[in-house]
A and B are shown apart, each in its own frame.
Chain A
Amino acid sequence: MLHPLVIDVSNLTKTYGGKTAVNGINLQVHKGEVFALLGPNGAGKTTTVEILEGYRGRDSGKVSVLGFDPNAKVSKLAERAWRDQIGIVLQTTMDALDLTVRETLTHFAKYYTNPKDSNAVIESVGLTEKVDEKVRTLSGGQRRRLDVALGIIGRPELLFLDEPTTGFDPEARRAFWELIRNLRDEGTSILLTTHYLDEAEALADRVAIINNGEILEVATPKTLGGRQNSKVEISWIENGEPRSSLSDTPTATVQELAARLGGEIAGLTVARPTLEDIYLKMIGENS
C-alpha cells in the first residue's frame, strides 16, 4: 500500500505494576484503511488503543498518530488541532446524560471545526426514532450507537472503535457494519478492536491478531495464518468408520477416493480451515 501512515507504532510496551499488558507491539495503519485488532479479553487491545488516543502513558516504544505523539508535551492548541481530526469510541461508557439524543449530538458538534450534520449522523446510526428521547432511556445497544455517533460527529480523519458492537443483536451488528463501510468509502481511516472473528473478517482490510500483549500476525482476513494455502481436510465414511485426511491437492484426493470406493463417497466433506480454526490455533499456541 502506498498510502501514508495514519498510525505508526514500534516496540510499544506497557506494564501495570510489573505485569506486562503490551509487549513490544508494532503496528502500521495506512490512510483509508480499516484495521482490526482481534484478540481475546485481556489481550491488550484497550491498552494499546488508549495509548494511541492519549489516555494512557507507555513504558517504551514510539507512537505516531496522524504524525503526532499523543504523549508529547505540546501546546494545548496543537493538541486541540490533533483531537479535531480524530474520533474516539471508548470500550465502556456509562454516562447517562439528562439530555436528548439530539441535544447531545448538536452540542458535541460545536467542539469541532468541521462537524457533520447532526441529523444525518443520527440517521446513519439508526437513532432517528429516538432523537428526542433522553439518553438515559436508551437501551444498551442504542446507547452504543450514540457513542458511535459522538465518535463520528467531528468528521474524523481517523476513527478509533474499541469493541463497538458488544451487546448488539445480529441485525444491529449488520447495520453497524454497513455504517463502517460507508465511513471507509468516505475515506475515514479506522482502527477497531473486536473479539468477534466475523466482524474482523467482514470489515477489516487487515487484521492483527493480538494475545498476551503480542501481535501474532498481521494479514488480510483471506490470508491470515496461511489460510489460502493451508491443507484442506477431506472426511468421509468408509466401511462404517469415519475417516479423514489432509491434502494440498483436494481435487486429486477426491478423484482418487471416488475411484477407489467406486462412485459416490459416503459422508464426504471438503473443508478449508475457517478463520476461527486458525485463530483458535494461534491463540492456543501462544498461551
Chain B
Amino acid sequence: MKQISTIKLGLARGTLEIKQFNRQRESVVFTILFPVILLFIFGSVFNDSIAPGVTFSQYFVAGMIASGLVNSGFQQLAISIPIERDLGTLKRLRGTPMPATAYFIGKGIQVLYSMFLQLTLLLFFGTIFFGLDLPTQPSKWFTFTWLIILGTASSTLLGIAFSVVPKSGRGASAVVSPVVIVLQFFSGVFFIFTTLPSWMQHFAAIFPLKWLTQGMRSVFLPDSFATQEAAKSWEINKIAIILIAWLIAGVFISLKTFKWTKE
C-alpha cells in the first residue's frame, strides 16, 4: 500500500499550526510581544556598563533571545498541548493515520515561526534602542543559526515531553510558567550569571537555557567579554554538545511518553 510521507504530513501540520496560531490573537500577542515588553522594562531600568563596551541592556537582549526559544517552544507547547488534550483535538488526531512524528514536526515549525517573529522584533528594538550590535563575522551568524535550530528543536520536544505533567489544560499555565521563570532567573537572563550564587549556577548548568543564553552572548557581545564568563570562555563546543544531548533526550521522552488522551 502506498504510504504518505511523514515529512510531508509534518509540513502540512506546520502550515495548519501557523494558520491557527495567527488566528489566535492572544497567543500571538503574548508570545511575540511579551519578550519585547520585558526588554523595554529591563533594558530601560538597568543600562549600566557591566564590562568595557558592554551594557546590561546588551547582556539582557542576548538572554531574552535565548528565553524566546524557551517561551515559544517549551512554555507555549507545555501549556497549549494539555488544552488540546482536554478539548479532544488530540483524541481526534489519534484516530487518524497521521503519525505522532508529523504532529511533532508541525509543532516545531510553528515554534520556529513564532520564534522568527519574536526574534525580528527583539533584534529590531534591541539594535535601535538598546545598543545591540548585530554580528558582522560569518562565523557568528553560523553559531546563531545552529543555536536557533538546536534551541527550537530541543525546546519543542521538551515542551511536548513536559505536556504530560499538567493534569489539565486549565492548570497548565500555573505548572509550567513558574518552571520557566525560575529557570530564567537561574540561567542569567535577568541577572548577570556570574553574580548568582554558585549553587544556582550549577543547577542552571543542567538545563539548556543557561547554555542558550551563553551562546547568544557569544554572538551578540564582543569577544573580549568571553573572559567574564564563568569558564572564562564561550564554551561553544560544550554548548553544542549539551543542546544535542537535550535534543536526543527530548526525542526519546516525547515519543515514549506522549499522551493523546487523558486516559
A contact residues vs B (CB 8 Å cutoff): 53, 55-56, 76-77, 80-81, 83-84, 86, 88, 90, 92-99, 103, 107-108, 110-113, 150, 154
Q: A92, B88: Cβ atoms under 8 Å? A: yes
Our pick among B2, B88, B261 for the contact of A95 (Cβ within 8 Å) is B88
Q: Is the interface of A mostly helix, strand, loop or mixed?
A: loop
For B97, list chain A residues within 8 Å (CB): 80-81, 83-84, 111-113, 154
Looking across the interface, which residue of chain B has its beta carbon closest to that of A80? B97
Q: A98, B98: Cβ atoms under 8 Å? A: no
CB distance from B248 to the nearest CB of A (A): 19
Distance in angstroms between the alpha carbons of A113 and B97 in the assembled complex = 9
Q: Which of B19, B92, B95, B261 has the most CB of A within 10 A?
A: B95
Distance in angstroms between the alpha carbons of A86 and B19 in the assembled complex = 28
Instruction: Give the contacts of B166-199 with A (CB-CB under 8 A).
Output: none
Distance in angstroms between the alpha carbons of A130 and B74 in the assembled complex = 36
Distance in angstroms between the alpha carbons of A92 and B94 in the assembled complex = 14
Q: B87, A95: Cβ atoms under 8 Å? A: yes
CB distance from B244 to the nearest CB of A (A): 25
Q: B3, A77: Cβ atoms under 8 Å? A: yes
Q: B263, A107: Cβ atoms under 8 Å? A: no
User: Does B4 reach chain A (CB closer than 8 Å)?
Assistant: yes
Q: A83, B95: Cβ atoms under 8 Å? A: yes
Q: Render B221-232 as a binary contact track against A, CB cut-off 8 A, 1 for contact.
A: 000000000000
Q: A55, B3: Cβ atoms under 8 Å? A: no
Q: Render B1-38 as a binary contact track against A, CB cut-off 8 A, 1 for contact.
A: 11110000100100010011001100000000000000
For B263, list chain A residues within 8 Å (CB): 55-56
Looking across the interface, which residue of chain B has its beta carbon closest to that of A107? B16
For B92, list chain A residues within 8 Å (CB): 88, 90, 93, 95, 150
User: A99-B19, A150-B92 are known contacts. Are A80 and B3 too (CB-CB below 8 A)?
Assistant: yes
For A97, list chain B residues within 8 Å (CB): 20, 89
CB distance from B196 to the nearest CB of A (A): 41
For A96, list chain B residues within 8 Å (CB): 87
For A93, list chain B residues within 8 Å (CB): 88, 91-92
Looking across the interface, which residue of chain A has its beta carbon closest to that of B20? A98
Q: Which of A53, A55, A111, A112 has the most CB of B within 10 A?
A: A111
Q: B261, A55: Cβ atoms under 8 Å? A: yes
Interface range on chain B (Cβ under 8 Å from partner)? 20 to 34
A-B contact pairs, 20 of them (CB 8 A): A55-B94, A55-B263, A77-B3, A80-B97, A81-B1, A84-B97, A93-B88, A95-B88, A95-B92, A98-B19, A98-B20, A103-B16, A103-B19, A108-B96, A111-B96, A111-B97, A111-B98, A112-B96, A113-B3, A154-B97
Q: Which of A88, A95, A112, A150 has the most CB of B within 10 A?
A: A95
Our pick among A86, A92, A113, A150 for the contact of B1 (Cβ within 8 Å) is A113
Distance in angstroms between the alpha carbons of A92 and B89 in the assembled complex = 11
User: Does B99 reach chain A (CB closer than 8 Å)?
Assistant: yes
For A80, list chain B residues within 8 Å (CB): 3, 97, 99
For B235, list chain A residues within 8 Å (CB): none
Distance in angstroms between the alpha carbons of A83 and B87 in the assembled complex = 21
Q: B88, A98: Cβ atoms under 8 Å? A: no
Looking across the interface, which residue of chain A has its beta carbon closest to that of B94? A55
For B24, list chain A residues within 8 Å (CB): 98
Q: Which of B12, B16, B87, B97 has the most CB of A within 10 A?
A: B97
CB distance from A258 to the nearest CB of B (A): 60
Q: A83, B96: Cβ atoms under 8 Å? A: yes
Distance in angstroms between the alpha carbons of A187 and B104 in the assembled complex = 35
Q: Render B79-103 as a binary contact track against A, CB cut-off 8 A, 1 for contact.
A: 0000010011101101111110000
User: A55-B91, A99-B19, A107-B12 are known contacts. Are A76 and B99 too (CB-CB below 8 A)?
Assistant: yes
Q: B91, A90: Cβ atoms under 8 Å? A: yes
Distance in angstroms between the alpha carbons of A98 and B94 in the assembled complex = 19
Our pick among A53, A56, A99, A112 for the contact of B20 (Cβ within 8 Å) is A99
Looking across the interface, which residue of chain A has its beta carbon closest to that of B96? A111
For A108, list chain B residues within 8 Å (CB): 96
Q: B12, A110: Cβ atoms under 8 Å? A: yes
Distance in angstroms between the alpha carbons of A80 and B3 in the assembled complex = 9
For A111, list chain B residues within 8 Å (CB): 4, 9, 96-98
Looking across the interface, which residue of chain A has its beta carbon closest to that of B98? A111
Instruction: Give the contacts of B22-73 with A (CB-CB under 8 A).
Output: 23-24
Instruction: Give the contacts of B241-260 with A (CB-CB under 8 A).
Output: none
